[in-house]
Structure 1
Amino acid sequence: MRLLLNIIWLFLSGFWMAIGYLVAGVICCLLIVTIPFGLASFRIANYALWPFGRTIVQRGGAASAIGNIIWIIFAGWWLAIGHLLTGLLQCVTIIGIPLGIANFKMIPISLVPLGSEIVPTD
């Protein structure tokens, strides 16, 4: 079932979301100071391609908290709104409900990516 959901997700929204995160990661890596944000963005892009069967674990410290506050101010809330709207639109159909839930599941990592780790659910 995870494989089928991941394939549907990849074609309906995962590919475009991953491209968006990759572009943000490249922009962040061009600026030396924001490289940690770029690496986190690449990690989220990988998660955006294949979210079913994986989950998010928070493991950050004080430095991650400061970086996450900066991230929320400049980029995190835009990403969270995008995931919220996309999730609501996907929940309109019965087939889209699991995809909408996956979008809602990505809101926390889009808000606070630093100190987050993506692990398999098994």
Structure 2
Amino acid sequence: MKTLLNIIWLVLSGFWLFLGYLVAGVVCCILIVTIPWGIASFRIGAYALWPFGKTVVNKPTSGVWSFLGNVIWVIVAGLWLAIGHILSGIALCITIIGIPFGIANFKMVPVSLAPLGKEIVDI
């Protein structure tokens, strides 16, 4: 079932989300100082490409630098990404078939707000 949901997700919205996060990651890596956000963006992009069967957990080794980085991320990009995921999730939940995909979008809101100090693992 996870594979079927992931394939439908990939066709409907996962590929476009992945491309958005990929572009953001490349821009962050070009700007040298923002490489940690670029790596986090690549990680979120891979999660946005194939989200069913995965979950986000906190890294036990993350510390104050992750927190400070997340504060900067929320100000620069995180808030807009979260709003985009919420609006997309609401739009997908309008139909019965789109409800699992809307829920997947809502699952991505916390990691889009604070990507540093998080890890994406298989369920």
Paired letter, 1:108: P
Specify the alignment match of 2:43 in structure 1. Answer: 43
Match of 1:93 in 2: 95
Unaligned runs of 5+ in 1: none
Which amino acid in structure 2 is aligned with residue 72 of structure 1?
Answer: V
Query: CA offsets per residue over residues 8-61 of structure 1, 9 Å max, x none?
Result: 100110000000000000000001110000000000010000000000001231
List, as ranges, runs of 4+ consecutive aligned residues in structure 1 with deviation greater than 3 Å.
none
Q: TM-score, normalised by structure 1?
A: 0.98
Alignment match, 1:29: 29
RMSD: 0.5
In structure 2, distance between residues paired with 1:8 and 1:91:
15
| Percent of matched pairs sharing the same residue | 69
What SS does structure 2 have at the residue aligned with 1:23?
helix
SS in 2 for 1:19: helix
Aligned mates of 2:58, 2:85 — CA distance in 1? 19
Question: Corresponding residue for 2:9?
Answer: 9
Matched position secondary structure for 1:33: coil
Q: Specify the SS of the correspondent of 2:33.
A: helix
Structure 2 unmatched ranges of 5 or more: none
SS of the residue corresponding to residue 120 of structure 2 reads strand
Equivalent residue of 2:90, what SS?
A: helix
1:73: which partner in 2? 75
- Give the aligned length: 121
**Distance (whole Å) between structure 1 residues aligned to residue 32 and residue 122 of structure 2:** 31
**Cα separation, 2, equivalents of 1:6 and 1:13:** 10
Map of 1:82 onto structure 2: 84
